[in-house]
A and B are shown apart, each in its own frame.
Chain A
Amino acid sequence: MLIPLDQARGTGAHFNGMKLQARDVVIHHRRQRYGDMLLAVDGVTFDVADGEFVAIVGPSGCGKTTFLGAVDGLLPLTSGALALDGRQIDRPGHDRAMVFQQPSLLPWRTVTGNVMYGVELIRIPKAEAQSRAKRFVDLVGLEGFAESYPLELSGGMQQRVNLARALAVDPEVLLLDEPFAALDAQTRETMQQELLRIWNETRKTAVFITHDIVEAVYLADRVIVFTARPGRVKEIVTVDIPRPRDLRVKREPGFVEIERRIWESIREESARDGLAATA
């Protein structure tokens, strides 16, 4: 059951009206191969407001994905608290939905069947589930492909299905784990633009993980920079570029300045990580 954040043991955290709250989140990542627990995230604290789009960037291996897995409820916290609308997160739930890095579609189900997957798990009438699936297949621009199988689709189209599947459960928070990382550069830009269009229509609170700084700045209201492992919040950069944002915004001086600042920040971390590794 969901525990009110105020009762979360030992955190001293209080619900402050924010959509998503992370308080001193510490996560150990179990490594079967090495037989140990790796400290992946070490005291992450930040809030996400309702309807806000937040991107998390950081050097590779900084615990971004681990952190997102915990927000999804797939990984346990060592200490600290994560709360959605003031209720503590301790398991997967329909109030969160993840868009995975790999499309991870059931190959034996059609596009519609895959979009239905999450919807089937919330108890709503079958007819409504179907009409909902259809709506989101259309929303992500796949109306001609509702009955196609995933293996007949391009990588970009598969990721559209992945996105529709998450949106269809109508989550409070949308979690995106480097969803465009495996796409080619052109498709990635198209998908970024598409994501903004779709996000604009749904205005879901979104947490987007990426290692692509331009992508983070283009999409997000705020960019959270993680330190090298173990991940901590190094810096939170507000992106005050007005919406709607055209792809051309990526060439504007204000954008480039924010991008450069984050780049410096991450470079510092990568260098530190490199030194630590050789020491």
Chain B
Amino acid sequence: MAERAEEPIKYDSLPNFPAEGFAGTDLGPTRVPRDSPVRTTPLPPQTLFQRHEALLIGSFGVAVFFVAWQAVASARIWSPLFLPGPVDVWQAFLELVNDGELATDIAVSGQEFVIGYALAALVGIPCGLLFGWYPRLRYIFDPFITFFYATPRIVLIPLFIIWLGIGVESKIAVIYLGAVFAILINTMAGVRSLDASLLRVARSFGAGDLHIFRTIALPGSVPFILTGLRLGTGHALIGVVVAEYVAAQHGLGRMMMIAGSTFQSSKVFVGLFLIAAAGLLLTYGLQRIERHFDAWRPQR
């Protein structure tokens, strides 16, 4: 038996070999050279503006919008009942806070959202994984999923009110139905679009179904699951408002509906901004989670 086939090449003993090596090429004869003499120059430091460019420009745009809005409202071309300015909206907000009504509304709507959305995630993700993995399960449930996803679930609100009353239960049902299909369908798509070559590798190494599911199907579907969750928040928030519009005792949607029908435009805007803030916060939170799971993707 021969000894080692090739001795490691001594770079510096080679004629015509550039002192800095061939940085970035895969020419390392025996070892990819970690300590190869790669010459680097640090980039010039970024200015404060460069580092936060997106945030700064974005904030500037929003500020301009509010100033313009206030200017138009202050000109009083239209009555404040018709078009309140940001200052009017802020005052309405303080008024609602002082009334003590707002806290109850937020609590009720928040409770409906959290329960409905959590149920949707708890049902949507496992079912999506199972239906994506087992075609026969998918064949059974596909007609129902398609039916519910294609139908505006809002039309079910009257039924839910009959079955569950005008309390939080009927709202939770609407929110759940709104979010669950976005989560389920995306999760299912994630499992179905798994890289076939990875599945082959797993089988080749003798992995069983459960192991493949745990090591490939689940992590491979994470981006899809998170997309589903993100879309689900939008559907769920719509559910909160619309369900309360129809019939409710408390909640932001109900507050907005009453304010709207009594020409209290400022209060409608308060509700609008609160819902939008909830949506922004949820999206931001999910983006943070997404970034955590995406550590392996090279920075764009």
Contact = CB atoms under 8 A, between A and B. Distances in A.
Contacts of A197: 4-6, 30
Tell me the dominant secondary structure on chain B's binding face.
loop
| Number of chain A interface residues as a range | 35 or more
Contacts of A169: 205
B26 interface: yes
Contacts of A141: 28, 30-32
B200 A94 contact: no
| Number of chain B interface residues as a range | 35 or more
Contact of A149 (B25, B220, B296): B296
B207 interface: yes
B27 interface: yes
A244 B206 contact: no
B204 A98 contact: yes
A83 to B, nearest CB: 18
Nearest to B22: A186
A143 B215 CA distance: 24
Contacts of A186: 25-27
B296 A107 contact: yes
21 contacts: A72-B204, A94-B206, A97-B204, A97-B205, A106-B215, A107-B296, A107-B297, A110-B296, A117-B215, A145-B32, A145-B34, A149-B297, A149-B298, A152-B298, A187-B27, A190-B26, A190-B27, A193-B6, A194-B30, A203-B1, A245-B5
Given A107-B297, A143-B34, 14 more contacts: A97-B204, A100-B201, A100-B204, A108-B219, A108-B296, A117-B202, A121-B206, A121-B211, A141-B32, A145-B34, A186-B26, A187-B26, A197-B6, A200-B4
Interface of A: 72-74, 91-94, 97-98, 100, 102, 104, 106-110, 117-118, 120-121, 141-145, 149-152, 154-157, 160, 169, 186-187, 190, 193-194, 196-197, 200-201, 203, 243-246
